[in-house]
Structures are given as C-alpha cells and as structure tokens.
Structure 1
Amino acid sequence: MQLLVIYDVENDRTRVKVSEALKDYGLSRIQYSAFQGNLSPNRMQELYYRLKTTLGVEVGNIQMFPICDKDAKQIKEIENVSCG
C-alpha cells in the first residue's frame, strides 16, 4: 500500500530525524516535507510509533495518508523543470 507522509516540525534537529526515519523505511522525498513510498500495514504502524517517539513533545505535526493501490494508480503529477 502506498503511504504519503507530510510534516511540519519546528525544531531543525527533530525535523532531520523525521526525514531520516522516513528514508530508513524506504520512502522517497517528493517535496521538502513530504515523502511517499510503499509499506505494508505493519510497517506503517511501526513507522507511526517511531515518528511519534521522534517528535516527542516538540512542536510539530506529522500526517500519514495510506493510499490503496487502486487510488495510487490514479495519482497524476505535473512537473516543470528548468532547462539550464
């Protein structure tokens, strides 16, 4: 199942730890504070607890959006890149 994670964490050190955790679980950065990847429900639960522990009492918000395979196939992306 696809997972989209977006976050807004005030503390720089905690924000880096969140992004490292997401990379550890094989997710890919799609925006500065957004990652996406394929995880089983059990791995999603593990990641949830890791992120909850990582954030601790710091000011921030982390949201995890599971996307079923049917809906993931309908994801559309528009991207323009510079030529220079």
Structure 2
Amino acid sequence: MKTLVSYDIVEDKVRRKVFEACKDYGLTNVQYSLFFGDMTHNRREELFQRLRRIIGRQEGKVLICPVCDKDLRLSKAIEVSAGMPEEAAEAAVSYPGRSRKKARAG
C-alpha cells in the first residue's frame, strides 16, 4: 500500500537519521520532510519502530499514513516554477493516473 511519512524534527542530527531511514525503506523524498512510496504493513511497522528508536526523547513528530488506491486517485498536487514572476507563474495540477492540466497561478 502507498504510504506517506511526514516528520517535523527539531535537531538536525536526528532529522538526518530520520531522512536516511526513510530512504533505506525505499521511500521517495517528495518534499523537505515528506516521503512517499509502497510499503507493506510489516515494513511500515518496522519503520515506525526504527524511527521511534532514532527520535528517542528528542522533540519532534512523525506521521506514517497508509494511503489506499481510491484516495490516491483523488489526490491533487500543485507545482509552481520557482523564480517566475507571480503573474507569469503557471501551476501544474497533477492527478495521479491522469494527464496533467496547466492552470494560471494567481
């Protein structure tokens, strides 16, 4: 099942270890503190336990969220090109499994 892993970790060293653990489990870094990928229930539990050990008593939050195919098909994303003037920026709206549509940002 597709899985989202999101985290907000204060300490740089701990945050790097969480980042590396997510990569070790085959997840793709899609935003600064957000990973996405396929994981079985057992692999999600293993990752949860590993992240629990990494974080220990440090300040932070982690969310591991399974996403079913139905909900994934309903997801939407907006991506705006960096460095473009606001009036010229185009937002690319993507729908997994369907073609991308271009929309004007503003």
TM-score over 0.5 for the pair: yes
Distance 1:62 1:13 in 2: 15
More helix by share: 1
Q: Which is higher, the Rg of structure 1 or of structure 2?
A: 2
Distance 1:66 1:54 in 2: 21
Q: Which runs of 5+ in 2 are unaligned?
A: 85-106
Specify the alignment match of 1:72 in structure 2. 72
- Name the aligned partner's letter for residue 38 of structure 1: D
1:2 aligns with 2:33: no
Moved over 3 A (4+): none
- TM-score, reference length from structure 2: 0.74
Distance 2:83 2:59 in 1: 39
Specify the alignment match of 1:12 in structure 2. 12
Distance 1:56 1:30 in 2: 25
Identity %: 44
Aligned residues: 84
Considering only aligned residues, what root-mean-square deviation do their CA atoms show, in Å?
1.4
Higher relative contact order (CA 8 A, sep 6+): 1
**Partner-residue secondary structure (3-state), 1:73:** helix
